[in-house]
Structure 1
Amino acid sequence: MSANFRLILRVSFLILGMLLFSRFCYAQVDPEPIKVLINTKPVSFETSPVIENGRTLVPLRAISEALGALVKWDSKSKTITLTLNSDVIKLTIGKDQALKNAQALALDSPARIIAGNTMVPLRFIGEAFGAYVQWNPGSRTVAVNSLLPGKSQRELVVQADQLNVRSGPGTDHEALTQVSRGMRFPILDTSSDWYKVKLPSGKTGWVVAWYVKEDNQSSASGSDTTGTTGQNNSPGNNEKDEQISDKGSLNPPDEVAPPYEPSNQPAILQKISIDTEDKKVNVKISCDRQVTFNTFTLSSPDRLIIDLNNTQPGSVNTSQYINSSIADRLRIGWFSQNPDVTRLVFDLTAKVVYKVQASADTKTISMVIFVPDIYGALKGAVIVLDPGHGGNDPGAIGRTLGLAEKNVNMQVAECAAELLHSYGATVLYTRYGDQNLDLYSRAWAANNAGADVFVSIHMNSNLSPSLGGTSTYFSSNALNGQDRQEKSYQLADYIQNSLLAYLGLEDKGVRQADFVVIRETIMPAVLIEAAFLSNPIEEKLMTMEEFRESIARALVNGIGMFLASQNTAA
């Protein structure tokens, strides 16, 4: 065998080996297939989902079956029509524009036919049907939450004995009919504190949000407003909360009083004792039998309200002046006589927090109203800030300026951390810089740190560019049970009110949602959606350092108010 032949043979084997090795290496680094979860349940696909232009495309047939949507295919125009409850979505193969209920919407990635399979953009489909869509780059998983296959994803249950159904979202609209406690209706739309529902007759109408409870509620829906003893359940600021004159007469609002579970006989309010100290008011409310109650605050002007359920006002004075720098007077009125609800309204002259507790026999309610020592409450506290998204997951993308949510979240977190540090708090991030992080890892990091408070920072997005505003979420299925849930609600309420005061945006309310980061944490935890990237005006605001700093200051103020309210020495 010649030397040249042996050299050629060696080179050939070397090249073959390199090819085999490179093929082996390539096979080793092939990405994991994309997984899709609908309400935590995995969806099986005959054809694997693909990523195009940063968006996940999934097979139409499988995803429509998983969502419970009806599908029509027009082969002539190559148009797909998806129908779920009252929503109709139309997509055309290759077109970067879709229709939702006849409204044109832009698509980041159009529907396509790949290897004979019709592939549609999952995020668009999910969000168009009211779901919350999250991408986990670590596990290459898309989670679609809030839709229930095969049935209406949003339905409400009436929680009041009688509730007006109106022709529009507000008490200035005509009352069409009344509905009763326990009746269920599909939700067609929302507007501020009102739900549009479909009645058994087929007609539609509007009901006010705080006298109903959502069943199978989505993350974008209002919170469960069913009252619980001692829990703050605010009905919002859009209605007149009371019309109690100095004489004690009451002109009740259009809708009925909050729901409750009455005993056979109403309680009678017997006595109210008020003691004042420096920047503190102590209140004791005594009734002749057991009572349940709801507390909430209203602004413009600032008021603290207690509703005593199944209670009549008796012969107590209807107006009492309070000799305090934080509250001017207490007004008492018979808010509703069917059912019986007695309302106590404290007219406030300072920003306060409060603690309320019922006696063992629930005949006496004790309340402390005081000006919080925010700085003192923050000193030594351990706060975990979770800048949402990161790395390969940009979150929402602004449609006008192209802002990436992950960057705005991080900027707000860094500003809030600087402020918290200045007040003596210890601050930890779930992510540092632009990195991927699993949702469960974020919750684990907070739990492992022994945090006092967890705040996940997000910006919102919607298919409609006109939608805007601020919302704060807490979990109704949180670890550590009812006490943790109530404290998370209180934290959410303080932060939401603070965000509204600092930002001046529309109030989207305190809401319940089953997000992993606030469900799996063991301390009071909330997730904020400060503003909408899909809204051109609010996206522009996010480019301004002053606006991002206002979000941060609102967070610090809300956290401080909450921690101060937990101070047992108050």
Structure 2
Amino acid sequence: MNRSEIMRKLSRILILTMILTLVLASNAWADSGIVSGGVVNLRSGPGTQYELVGTLSKDTRVEVIQSRSGWHQVQYGDVQGWITGEYLTVTQSPKLRVTGDMVNLRSGPGTNYPQVGQAKKGEILDLVDTCDQWYQIRTAAGLQAYISANYITTVNSGTSTSPAQPAPPQPSVPALPGKTPAVFYNGQKLAFDVPPMIDNSRTMVPLRAIFEAMGATVTWNQSTQTATAEKGDTTVILPLNSTTPTINGTVTKIDVPAKLIDQRILAPLRFVGEAFGGTVGWDQASYTIDIQLKEEPTPSPQPVRTNLVVIDPGHGGTETGTIAEGVMEKDITLDIGLRVGNILRNRGIPIQLTRTEDVNVGLQERADLANELNAAIFVSIHCNSFNNVVSGTETLYYAPESNPELFAMKAERQELAQAIQDQLIASLMRKNRGAKEDNLSVLRNTRMPSALAEVMFLDNPEERALLLQDSTKQQAAEAIATGIQNFMQR
């Protein structure tokens, strides 16, 4: 083979390589996929014989680079690998058509970002993501950039009789590289121990901080990796690494799954802000996010208050409360609660216990029972815990100015808590930690004077030993009962 033939063959190989590269590049951004299996293996090549390079959780969205032999090469963040088509649902990405004559393409979602190119009128672009009034796109040449939503329209696929492509997803809160927006709730700036982060052009915020600011109760189930938030008659359930949380049983799709960062659950801001009926506003000039939630308690006729006292032994059933050296909080609180009930009955005061045995009773269910019975007083009994060293007794109440119904009872709630606290300190002679205000579910959701007594610290060895003595439990019960009676006779 002479030199000229060799050169011709090399040229053909080079041209073929370039064509293949362009084809792969153009296909790289055409499709996206959703992982449909629970936890799916990511491999270095298209087959089970290839090395395992990672795993992807169900509902994770990935970019499909290429497909081969029933396998798809995908990209998730900085990670690339192959996943079997059996566990990946591939969808064609939406298309956009440029409507402006010559529209600037920029490196970020705003006119303050550098121009990186231009798109002609009629040019078709692949939609990658949305960011407020900007769209992240890829051109046919593979350039990734941002274009203003004012100069594009969606494109139908196929012939005129084919169904239209899905519209671009609802624009979410924008995110600028290296900058974190300030978050306000009803005009008050929120502080986070784990700062908001940007994930796939979405602002992710600590879920608990915002939900609790809204007055919701947040619990975490370690075994199912699921967060549950409750407020009134609304329940939000958000599994980790899932894009399908539910609100009162109805699935609400989010485009970025919740993540666990530094022991805090981070979720898309717009979902968190709107889950309990709030609205999320964005101010580009000040780079702030404003969440507004209007609290309007429905006025209702005030029921005739009885002199019934509801005693609530904390925890129960599978909800053990604090466990210290095998001693469970639920057993101590039930013992003391039964004693309080007997003492009050003997003094002629009608009572109702939320539980009389070791069973599960929901937090809302406890409050509902007291409300339905038009109880005069609700008192919950608990044991405290912290770090095996802290000790003492405290009694809690809740009457914030943000809740007009509870705030109207602030003096009564505080007086009840103080009456119980005074008797506990006089009887048990432990460190006086005071009567304090705290946002707890049974205090927030009861509609009468209510208090929660933290008798002692169960994880403190000295106080645990005391709590195991019948004499101490009887002293605590008599103190709580006397505090209640003193409040009723004031």
Q: What's the TM-score once normalised by structure 1's chain length?
A: 0.35
Structure whose CA Rg is larger: 2
